[in-house]
Amino acid sequence: MRITQNIVYDTILQDIMFNYRRLSQLQKELATGKKIEYPSDDPVGTVKVGEFNTSIGEIGQYNKNIDSANSWMNYTDNALDEVGKIMQRVREITIYGADGALSTVDRNALADEVDELRKHLLQTANTEYNGHYIFAGRKTTTKPFAFNGADEDVYMGDDGEIEREVQKGEKVVVNITGIQAFMPSKVRYSVESDEFPALTTFGPGTITVKVGQQVALVGVPAAATLEDIANAFNNMAGDLLEAEVVDGSVAGTKKLVITTKSPYKISFSDTVGNVASSTGLTTNTQTKVYKDKLDVFEILKNISDNLRRNEVSSLSGIRLEEIDEYMDNLLEMRAHLGARIKRLNTTKNHAEDKKVNLTDLLSKTEDIDIEDVIMNLNTLQSVYRASLASGARIMQMSLMNYMK
């Protein structure tokens, strides 16, 4: 093979340039700390970097959403806590006001306090968070509770739910509407008997009914139709429950529906005879039903009225029951809210873990391994130096050096 000087020069130059290019590539990696500058440097890596970045950004945004949801819900919880304290005080006043020994002046003073508490409650119901009314449903820019002329509080909001996206495709309701918080439905339990042809008769017998802690005995006459049984329930346990006869699902059949008047479960047993078991009341499942509204503002207004009118029995009876029922409702609501907050925190913790993992993966894909690059840089430097040195030496050699 014939080699000319130009081939040698060319080859040397090419090798030096190649080494220098690799050196400058490593230098760039060191300076930026990144492996990928253009998609062609690592097409798969580029896509991964994009996906990781998007996922990390998403998790950051979901965490922001969770924080926003959490602070909204904590704010709601604080407001409900305040409501609880108010109602606790109202309960004390109601029990105290029901004491027959109190004078009219004392009761009026108590009524004034209840009125003040009611105003305070109204303020709480109109709580704003970050410029939004939290109990107004979706109408967050409308003051949810307002006095109308007739001394009644009217709800101006709606029953809309406000959701936050806390994970891909998963939404959580963050708000409690004014209706849920201040005008909840009463919870009742209902049991249905089996269905019987209209003229089927039962009895005689006696049924023991228990609603919560209260017990009543219901005597059923001989040859009683479902109507007769309903009447017996209404007559003998009317303050605990309500009974009615409705059409069954099959034409010509009837069934008995018994609904409690307080938010407690109901149970039946046959003391004499077998009316309760033969009608199926003892075995059929009871369902939770919602009836009427428990308007807390109206309760307070009624208490104030009762106090001013010295209606002691109402205070100790129906009002106290209403307060207790409302407070049960409140507690249940707060328990739900607490559970939701806890769940969000768990979600957030998971998300944070995932974010750490993704950030790690991103760094592995995108960032250089400094030790590795510096090692390579050193190796390459030696190679580069060697190519320069050998090149310089070879280029100097020529026949001319030896000819005079």
Partner 1 sequence: MRSTFFGIEIGARSLYTQRMALETTGHNIANANTPGYSRQRVDMGTTDPFTVPSFERPATPGQIGTGVQVEQIRRLRNFFLDLRYRQESSTLGKWDAISEGLREVELFIGEPSDTGVRSALDKFWASLEELANEPESRAVRESVREKTEVLVSAIKHVANSLQSYRDDINNEVKMRVDEINSLIRQISNLNVEIIKVEGTGDNANDLRDRQNYLVEKLAKLIDIDVKENPGKGIVVSTDGFDLVRGIKHHEFVVHQNPGNDGYYEVRWDIDDFPVSSDVSVVTAVVSPDAAQRFHTVEVFQLANELSHKVGDSTVASIASPNVTLAALGWLGKNEMGVFGIKVGDNPEVEITVTGEDTLQTVANKINAAYNNSNVSSSPDISENWVEAQVEESVTGNYYLTVKSNKPGESHGMTITDHISDIAYRLGLIDATGNTNDIDTPQDAIFRIDGVDYRSAYNRIEKAINQSTGEEETITPGVIYTLTGVGSASVSAKRVVENGKLYGLLKVRDSIIPYYMEQLDDLAYTLINEMNAQHRAGYGLGDTDRDVNGINLFEPLSVNKPYGAAKEISINSQIEEDLNKIAAATGDGYGHSAGDGDNQNALKLTELKHRGIMSGGTTTFSDFFESLLSRLGVDSEEAKKNNENQETMVKQIDHKRQETSGVSLDEEMANIVKFQRVYEASARFITVQDSIINRIINGMGLVGR
Q: Do 124 and 83 form a contact (C-beta atoms < 8 A)?
A: yes
Considering only 121, 136, 351, 358, the residue that binds partner 1 (CB under 8 A) is 136
Q: Which stretch binds partner 1 (CB under 8 A): 39-47, 98-106, 269-277, 367-375?
A: 39-47
Considering only 16, 23, 46, 208, the residue that binds partner 1 (CB under 8 A) is 46
Considering only 64, 354, 364, 385, the residue that binds partner 1 (CB under 8 A) is 64
Give the tokens for residue 398.
């020529």
Applying CB under 8 A, does 36 fall inside the site for partner 1?
yes
Applying CB under 8 A, does 11 fall inside the site for partner 1?
yes
CA-based max dimension of the chain: 148
> What is the nearest approach in angstroms of partner 1 to the Cβ of residue 371?
23
If the CB atoms of residues 150 and 403 are measured against partner 1, the closer one turns out to be 403
If the CB atoms of residues 29 and 366 are measured against partner 1, the closer one turns out to be 366
> What is the nearest approach in angstroms of partner 1 to the Cβ of residue 363?
13
Considering only 24, 27, 32, 61, the residue that binds partner 1 (CB under 8 A) is 61
Considering only 39, 238, 252, 317, the residue that binds partner 1 (CB under 8 A) is 39
Cis peptide leading into 204, omega within 30 of 0? yes
Q: Do 233 and 243 form a contact (C-beta atoms < 8 A)?
A: yes
**x-or-dash pattern for partner 1, window 327-366, by CB under 8 A?**
---------------------------------------x
Q: Do 224 and 207 form a contact (C-beta atoms < 8 A)?
A: no
Applying CB under 8 A, does 15 fall inside the site for partner 1?
no
Applying CB under 8 A, does 399 fall inside the site for partner 1?
yes
| Degrees to nearest 5, angle at CA 221 with 215 and 222 | 140
> What is the nearest approach in angstroms of partner 1 to the Cβ of residue 54?
5
Q: Which stretch binds partner 1 (CB under 8 A): 47-55, 212-220, 320-328, 388-396?
A: 47-55
Applying CB under 8 A, does 24 fall inside the site for partner 1?
no
Applying CB under 8 A, does 142 fall inside the site for partner 1?
yes
Q: Do 94 and 113 form a contact (C-beta atoms < 8 A)?
A: no
Restricted to residues 73-132, the positions that interact with partner 1 (CB under 8 A) are 130-132
Rounded CA separation 389/50 (Å) = 44
| Degrees to nearest 5, angle at CA 172 with 169 and 177 | 145
Give the tokens for residue 341.
């907050």
Q: Which stretch binds partner 1 (CB under 8 A): 43-51, 79-87, 332-340, 351-359?
A: 43-51
If the CB atoms of residues 61 and 78 are measured against partner 1, the closer one turns out to be 61
Q: Which stretch binds partner 1 (CB under 8 A): 37-45, 202-210, 347-355, 373-381?
A: 37-45
Considering only 103, 149, 151, 168, the residue that binds partner 1 (CB under 8 A) is 168
Considering only 73, 76, 111, 137, the residue that binds partner 1 (CB under 8 A) is 137
> What is the nearest approach in angstroms of partner 1 to the Cβ of residue 138?
3
Size of the site for partner 1 (CB under 8 A): 57
DSSP β-bridge partners for residue 172:
164
Interacting residue ranges for partner 1, rule: CB under 8 A: 1-7, 10-11, 14, 36, 38-44, 46-47, 49-51, 53-54, 57-58, 60-62, 64-65, 68, 130-132, 136-142, 158, 160, 162-165, 168-169, 171, 366, 398-400, 403
